[in-house]
């Protein structure tokens, strides 16, 4: 679908210079002389390289449509992660590089989405919040206030996070997968 160059928004995926690029940052600029333009910071979805481009309102760009399908994580085998399409039960193995350091959040059997373009997987979308058990933390000190005093904890998946002093070993906590930070106690 073609859109005007000044209609690009952060998060839009466009086809540009024989590649797929996601708009990271945009800035409208109107110089004293000449026409207004949109300064766009683009990130390549395949190799992660960055590019700054100017788009005028008279230019058109091709906006790409990414397909999101529900998958279930099955298992990890070295550098490969195996997922199952929850509709067709077809299994697909993807490189661990596709998800990067977020692979630590994967649990056997968890539901997630995989974004693809023309049947080429480009991104693994994790749920925003996941629950994990604290496997190790310092004991709670009686009388310690909760006012911005956090203590280190190690979760069941090996991730190190900071938790409030009232959290103890064996408790379940909710973690934000974007920031890798404690959100709240699990219900």
**7-41, pLDDT tens digit by residue?**
898 888 899 998 899 888 999 988 888 888 999 99
- DSSP states of 63-130: EPPPEEEEEEEEEEETTEEEEEETTT--EEEEEGGGTGGGGGG--TT-EEEEEEETTEEEEEE--SEE
The 10s digit of each residue's pLDDT in 56-98 is 888 999 999 889 999 999 999 989 999 999 999 999 999 888 8
pTM: 0.73
Query: Could you tell me which of 29, 28, 18 has the C-alpha nearest to residue 51?
Result: 18
Domains, the chain: 2-63 (2.30.30.30), 67-125 (2.40.50.140), 129-185 (2.40.50.140)
């Amino acid at each position: 679908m073609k859109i005007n160059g000044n209609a690009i928004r952060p998060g839009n995926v466009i086809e540009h210079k024989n590649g797929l690029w996601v708009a990271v940052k945009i800035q409208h600029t109107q110089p004293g002389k000449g026409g207004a333009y949109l300064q766009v910071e683009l990130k390549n979805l395949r190799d992660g390289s960055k590019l700054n481009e100017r788009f005028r309102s008279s230019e058109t760009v091709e906006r790409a449509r990414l397909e999101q399908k529900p998958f279930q994580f099955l298992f990890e085998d070295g550098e490969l992660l195996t997922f199952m399409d929850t509709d067709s039960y077809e299994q697909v193995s993807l490189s661990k590089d596709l998800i990067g350091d977020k692979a630590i959040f994967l649990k056997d059997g968890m539901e997630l989405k995989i974004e693809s373009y023309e049947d080429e997987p480009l991104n693994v979308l994790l749920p925003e919040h996941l629950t994990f058990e604290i496997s190790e933390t310092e004991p709670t000190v009686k009388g310690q206030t909760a006012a911005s005093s956090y203590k280190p904890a190690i979760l069941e998946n090996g991730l190190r996070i900071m938790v409030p002093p009232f959290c103890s070993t064996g408790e379940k906590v909710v973690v934000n997968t974007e920031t890798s930070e404690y959100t709240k106690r699990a219900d």
